């Protein structure tokens, strides 16, 4: 559709296609390969003495954060619904984002020329899925599939047919459509009247409502979020696009008409002021996207909310308190950038090589700082251990990933201190695959993903008193350390307590810290599975020493020996990490999802109802969730979503304990 807009308005000289890789907007090699948008891209075009700037956003589940972030910088939303596949999951989510930002929207039932295209069924799908704003047709199709040739304007009761170049010619309303046109026009008039008290009174009293009154009331109803008008199109055959472009101009607000942005006067401050789109006001803008190029550097894309910006000037990054200066100011045209001499409210523009600015930051006039509340990035849902494919590339790999985290805020790189693995987290397998392809192309390094190790821990359930004696004589000065300890469990989360109960100087004071150090080092390496020991208390109660042979090293070893011996006598067990799983699914999938959670050893905590969706909360062992993302997608047809966060540690069942311990023994023997 976006490519068709550019072609119809003569902004481009050919109709770009995602399928054959000629799209102006899907220009990244990874997008060309997958034949779909992975990143939001920007362009603009003229239409009837106006300039329309748009963001072409991804529809894939793994890339919706870009869609949500960019929607903060627009004034209205164009919603495309496939006349064959009907409302998709990502469309539902995009609609919800538009709701959260209070964006008015218009709908096109597109691909009416395709085989099996069905206007009535698709409209029914739209109206069932989206109850607010109310989806009401303002146009009906003439024909369908191969015979789709035009539309009937329900407001003006005019019919139009289109030639191969997308040019419309007025034609009589087909006789076989007359009853349908009358019925839908009546529904349209009623829907418009319901949004205006004066018109509703006229409608109920049976008085005629003029086309002009209907037109003005409909424009107000759309901009106020009461109605989402529906039209029909074929972007491939350029049918209905001029009508659709007129709807954008007529129904969606210009930057000067939209509701003011709310801002606060300090970071994390309360929302206190409205920022009107005044070109003469102090400059302020919200950063909605960042891209990083290994050669050109960082490109910062932002929506100007107030004021006017010119090249070779500067502003304050309010979130970080840092001043920034820049040279050229760019308008974006897909992959290309066009230098501009001035930009004002509503413009989406970019500058390069800023040092401190990231997506979600507010930039503003230094003397008049304000902060816009940006939507936080989505929380990653899948994680993999990551390493360089080729030895010696480790630094290059992690430098490349860190650069990608600036561009993609849903990408997280962390280190698991226990397993010593670097963990890469993202929105799904497709997301991470695309990121790794981009890293290989941009930075010439290859990355390997592996299932991450689960960070188990060891603990005890019993008590013991043991002796650890280290005695070594090799001729000359020997080694001697003797420590007796009592060991007992602590409550879950209790950590570690060391207690000195030595009396009478049986162990000299200078050696007691060495015993504690030996115990702590033994705890870090584990005893039965190689995982750290937690939640235990150790008391040093007795021991002995040698005037010549005792040393800190000897007592450190004695402490370690005593701890390992005591641990084995204290009913050792394995703890596994438990995650808080929150799943959001349509009502019809609730039973299947809850059953699946139970099969993963999950403990259901409760559910909440939100309209036609259910939110399920459960505690589930981390090891059971390593492949949850594709499983949930399969169960719900992509209509479910979930989030994870660490909850606590709990004792693992016998079969898990045995597996963890048995996998450690071969490594232990090898060492």
- The distance from CA 478 to its chain's CA centroid, rounded to whole angstroms, is 62
pLDDT of residue 626: 87
Q: Do both 315 and 205 map to the same domain?
A: no
Residue-by-residue DSSP string for 26-71: --SHHHHHHTS--S-EEEEEEETTEEEEEEE---SGGGHHHHHHHG
Is residue 610 predicted with pLDDT exceeding 90?
Answer: no
pLDDT of residue 32: 83
Q: 42-76, pLDDT tens digit by residue?
A: 999 999 999 999 999 998 888 999 999 999 999 99
Tally of structural domains, the chain: 5
Within 537-605, residue ranges assigned H as helices are: 552-569, 590-599
Look over the chain and give the mean of its residue pLDDT values, rounded to a whole number: 92
Cβ(8)–Cβ(47) under 8 Å? no
60 inside domain: no
67 inside domain: no
Q: Do both 467 and 563 map to the same domain?
A: yes
Q: Do both 544 and 588 map to the same domain?
A: no
Q: Do both 139 and 219 map to the same domain?
A: yes
* Residue 110 phi, psi (nearest 5): -95, 170
Q: 281-320, pLDDT tens digit by residue?
A: 999 999 999 998 777 789 999 999 999 999 999 999 999 9
Q: Please choose, from the candidates 359, 377, 347, 334, the residue with its C-alpha nearest in 3D space to the C-alpha of residue 56.
A: 334
List 53's β-bridge partners, or say none: 44
User: Using CA atoms, how far apart are residues 201 and 45, in angstroms rounded to an integer?
Assistant: 41
57 inside domain: no
CATH value at residue 320: 2.40.30.10
List 479's β-bridge partners, or say none: 472
Residue 363: burial class (beta carbons within 10 Å; 0-12, 13-18, 19+) = buried
pLDDT of residue 23: 86
CATH value at residue 513: 3.30.230.10
User: Using CA atoms, how far apart are residues 476 and 374, in angstroms rounded to an integer?
Assistant: 71
CATH value at residue 600: 3.30.70.240
Q: Please choose, from the candidates 362, 375, 358, the residue with its C-alpha nearest in 3D space to the C-alpha of residue 307.
A: 362
Q: 487-523, pLDDT tens digit by residue?
A: 999 999 999 999 999 999 999 999 999 999 999 999 9
User: Using CA atoms, how far apart are residues 595 and 633, in angstroms rounded to an integer?
Assistant: 15
CATH value at residue 184: 3.40.50.300
User: Using CA atoms, how far apart are residues 629 and 436, in angstroms rounded to an integer?
Assistant: 19
User: Using CA atoms, how far apart are residues 61 and 29, in angstroms rounded to an integer?
Assistant: 19
Structure tokens at 601: 């050893």
Q: Do both 243 and 386 map to the same domain?
A: no
100 inside domain: yes
The last residue of a domain, from among 251, 276, 304: 251
The last residue of a domain, from among 316, 349, 372: 372
Q: At which residue do the structure tokens 């296609």 appear?
A: 17
Q: Do both 395 and 282 map to the same domain?
A: no
Q: Tell me how many degrees the CA angle 269-272-273 measures, rounded to the nearest 5.
A: 130
Q: Do both 226 and 365 map to the same domain?
A: no
Counting other chains too, the contacts that 592-600 makes at CB distance below 8 Å and 24 or more residues apart are 592/635, 592/636, 593/632, 593/635, 593/636, 593/640, 596/631, 596/635, 600/624, 600/625, 600/628
Q: Do both 111 and 212 map to the same domain?
A: yes
pLDDT of residue 205: 82
177 inside domain: yes
Q: Do both 243 and 277 map to the same domain?
A: no
Sign of the dihedral defined by the CA atoms of residues 619, 620, 626, 631, in that order: negative
Q: Do both 84 and 171 map to the same domain?
A: yes
Query: In this structure, are strands 77-82 and 105-110 parallel, antiparallel, or unpaired?
Result: parallel
Q: Do both 560 and 465 map to the same domain?
A: yes
Residue 596 structural domain: 576-656
Give me the mean pLDDT over the 230-256 stretch: 96
Q: 536-577, pLDDT tens digit by residue?
A: 999 999 999 998 899 999 999 999 999 999 999 999 999 999
The last residue of a domain, from among 450, 476, 504: 450
32 inside domain: no
258 inside domain: no
Q: Do both 362 and 397 map to the same domain?
A: no
558 inside domain: yes
Q: Tell me how many degrees the CA angle 91-243-40 measures, rounded to the nearest 5.
A: 35
Q: 321-352, pLDDT tens digit by residue?
A: 999 999 999 999 998 999 999 999 999 999 99
Q: 22-31 burial by CB neighbour count: b if 16+ within 10 A, else e?
A: ebbbbbbebb
Rounded to 10 degrees, the C-alpha dihedral 646/648/653/656 comes to 40
Residue 150: burial class (beta carbons within 10 Å; 0-12, 13-18, 19+) = buried
List 330's β-bridge partners, or say none: 339, 350
Q: Please choose, from the candidates 175, 55, 165, 168, the residue with its C-alpha nearest in 3D space to the C-alpha of residue 103.
A: 55
Counting other chains too, the contacts that 181-190 makes at CB distance below 8 Å and 24 or more residues apart are 181/140, 181/152, 181/154, 181/157, 184/137, 184/140, 184/154, 185/154, 185/157, 187/136, 187/137, 188/136, 188/137, 188/138, 188/154, 188/155, 188/214, 189/214
pLDDT of residue 80: 96
The tally of CA atoms less than 13 A away on the side-chain side of residue 466 is 20
Residue 160: burial class (beta carbons within 10 Å; 0-12, 13-18, 19+) = buried
User: Using CA atoms, how far apart are residues 135 and 105, in angstroms rounded to an integer?
Assistant: 10
Residues 6 or more apart whose CB falls under 8 angstroms from that of 543 comprise 481, 482, 483, 484, 502, 506, 507, 515, 558
């Amino acid at each position: 559709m976006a490519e068709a807009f550019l072609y119809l308005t003569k902004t481009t000289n050919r109709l770009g296609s995602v399928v054959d890789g000629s799209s102006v907007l899907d220009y990244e090699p990874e997008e060309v390969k997958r034949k779909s948008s992975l990143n939001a891209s920007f362009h603009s075009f003229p239409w009837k003495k106006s300039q329309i700037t748009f963001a072409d956003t991804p529809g894939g589940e793994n890339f919706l954060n870009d869609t949500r972030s960019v929607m903060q910088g627009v004034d209205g939303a164009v919603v495309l619904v496939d006349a064959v596949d009907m409302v998709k999951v990502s469309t539902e989510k995009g609609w919800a984002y538009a709701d959260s930002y209070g964006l008015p929207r218009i709908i096109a039932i597109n691909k009416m020329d395709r085989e099996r295209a069905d206007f009535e069924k698709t409209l029914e799908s739209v109206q069932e899925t989206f109850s607010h704003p109310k989806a009401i047709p303002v146009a009906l199709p003439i024909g369908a599939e191969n015979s789709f040739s035009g539309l009937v304007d329900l407001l003006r009761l005019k019919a139009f047919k289109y030639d191969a170049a997308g040019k419309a010619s007025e034609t009589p309303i087909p006789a076989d459509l007359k009853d349908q046109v009358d019925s839908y026009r009546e529904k349209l008039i009623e829907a418009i009247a319901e949004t205006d008290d004066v018109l509703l009174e006229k409608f109920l009293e049976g008085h005629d409502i003029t086309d002009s009154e209907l037109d003005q009331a409909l424009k107000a109803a759309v901009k106020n979020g009461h109605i989402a008008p529906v039209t029909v199109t074929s972007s491939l055959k350029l049918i209905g696009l001029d009508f659709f472009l007129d709807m954008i101009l007529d129904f969606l607000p210009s930057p000067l008409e939209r509701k003011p942005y709310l801002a606060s006067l300090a970071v994390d401050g309360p929302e206190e002021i409205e920022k009107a789109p005044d070109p003469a006001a102090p400059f302020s803008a919200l950063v909605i996207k960042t891209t990083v190029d290994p050669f050109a550097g960082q490109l910062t894309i932002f929506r100007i909310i107030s004021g006017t910006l010119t090249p070779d000037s500067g502003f304050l990054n309010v979130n970080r308190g840092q001043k920034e200066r820049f040279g050229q100011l760019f308008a974006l045209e897909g992959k290309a950038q066009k230098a501009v001499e001035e930009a004002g409210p509503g413009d989406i523009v970019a500058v390069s090589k800023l040092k401190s600015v990231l997506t979600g930051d507010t930039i503003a006039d230094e003397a008049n700082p304000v902060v816009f509340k940006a939507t936080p990035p989505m929380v990653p849902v899948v994680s993999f251990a990551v390493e360089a494919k080729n030895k010696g590339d480790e630094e290059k790999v992690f430098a490349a990933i860190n650069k990608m985290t600036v561009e993609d805020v849903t990408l997280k790189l962390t280190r698991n201190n226990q397993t010593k693995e670097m963990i890469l987290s993202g929105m799904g397998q497709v997301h991470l695959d695309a990121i790794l392809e981009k890293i290989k192309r941009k930075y010439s390094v290859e990355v390997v993903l592996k299932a991450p190790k689960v960070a188990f821990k060891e603990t005890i359930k019993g008590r013991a008193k043991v002796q650890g004696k280290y005695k070594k004589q090799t001729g000359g000065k020997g080694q001697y350390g003797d420590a007796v300890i009592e060991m007992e469990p602590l409550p879950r989360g209790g950590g570690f307590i060391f207690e000195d109960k030595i009396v009478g100087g049986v162990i000299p004071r200078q050696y007691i810290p060495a015993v504690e150090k030996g115990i702590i080092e033994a705890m870090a390496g584990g005893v039965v599975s190689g995982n750290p020991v937690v939640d235990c208390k150790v008391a040093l109660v007795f021991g002995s020493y040698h005037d010549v042979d005792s040393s800190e090293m000897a007592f450190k070893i004695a402490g370690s020996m005593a701890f390992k011996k005591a641990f084995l006598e204290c009913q050792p067990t394995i703890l596994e990490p438990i995650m808080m799983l929150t799943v959001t699914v349509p009502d019809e999938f609730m039973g299947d999802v809850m059953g699946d959670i139970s099969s993963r050893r999950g403990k259901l905590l409760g559910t909440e109802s939100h309209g036609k969706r259910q939110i399920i909360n459960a505690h589930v062992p981390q090891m059971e969730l390593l492949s949850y993302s594709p499983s949930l997608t399969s169960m719900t047809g992509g209509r479910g979503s979930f989030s994870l966060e660490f909850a606590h540690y709990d004792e693992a069942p016998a079969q898990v304990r045995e597996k963890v311990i048995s996998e450690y023994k071969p490594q232990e023997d090898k060492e």
